[in-house]
């Protein structure tokens, strides 16, 4: 059927497809709720940790990241590299307990379990994380107009005791 269409029909069809694509992107970028955007960003952050993509992990933390363990952005990524770097395979299994989001601010409360195989301290990391009963808190701020502009300003867990590596 497409072989018998006139050049003008191709232009019209292409224009319709372009319009539909732009409409979908507009909805995806600006029409989704902050909660939907945060779910996507939280999933992307955990995936970056699983893949040990430290550039992505660092990019998802704000420049002024600070937590109760004395980490700034750089030291948090360095400690994560030490803790997770020896894994050959790593799977993070999250369970969102609570998600609160308003334009510009969000908090995700979730339980996390990990599975993985590796060398060095990987077994200790799995045991430590999986023994924590308290949920993790991820505090997010949106730093720009796009859905991917959400950044983590703090990660906290009352049950986490960070050993010196």
Q: What is the 3-state secondary structure (H, E, C) of 19-56?
A: HHHHHHHHHHHHHCCHHHHHHHHHHHHHHHHHCCCHHH
Percentage of residues of the chain with pLDDT beyond 90 = 72
The pTM (predicted TM-score) of the whole model is: 0.81
- At 32 the pLDDT is 79
Residue 22 to residues 11, 33, 34, 125, 145, Cα–Cα distance (Å): 16, 19, 20, 44, 17
**What CATH number should be reported for the domain whose range is 33-156?**
3.10.450.50
- At 81 the pLDDT is 96
Residue ranges covered by each domain of the chain = 1-31, 33-156
The residues that bridge with 90 in the sheet, in sequence order, are 116
* SS3 at position 93: strand
CA–CA separation, 122 vs 125, rounded Å?
A: 5
Q: Taking residues 144-156, what's their average pLDDT?
A: 94
Q: What is the pLDDT of residues 44-103, one digit of tens each?
A: 999 999 999 999 999 999 999 999 999 999 999 999 999 999 999 999 999 999 999 999
| Averaged confidence pLDDT in the chain | 90
Banded pLDDT at 29 (limits 50, 70, 90) = low
Instruction: Please determine, for residue 164, whether its predicted confidence score (pLDDT) is greater than 90.
Output: no
């Amino acid at each position: 059927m497409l072989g018998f269409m006139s050049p003008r029909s191709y232009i019209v069809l292409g224009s319709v497809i372009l319009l539909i694509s732009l409409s979908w992107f507009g909805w995806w970028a600006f029409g989704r709720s902050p909660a939907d955007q945060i779910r996507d960003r939280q999933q992307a952050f955990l995936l970056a940790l699983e893949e040990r993509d430290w550039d992505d992990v660092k990019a998802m933390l704000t420049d002024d990241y600070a937590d109760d363990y004395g980490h700034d952005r750089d030291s948090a990524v360095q400690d994560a590299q030490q803790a997770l770097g020896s894994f050959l395979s790593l799977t993070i299994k999250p369970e969102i307990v609570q998600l609160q989001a308003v334009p510009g601010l969000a908090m995700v409360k979730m339980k996390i379990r990990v599975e993985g195989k590796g060398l060095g301290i990987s077994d200790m990391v799995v045991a430590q994380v999986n023994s924590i009963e308290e949920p993790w808190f991820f505090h997010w701020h949106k730093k720009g107009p796009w859905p991917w502009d959400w950044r983590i300003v703090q990660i906290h867990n009352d049950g986490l005791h960070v050993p010196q590596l």
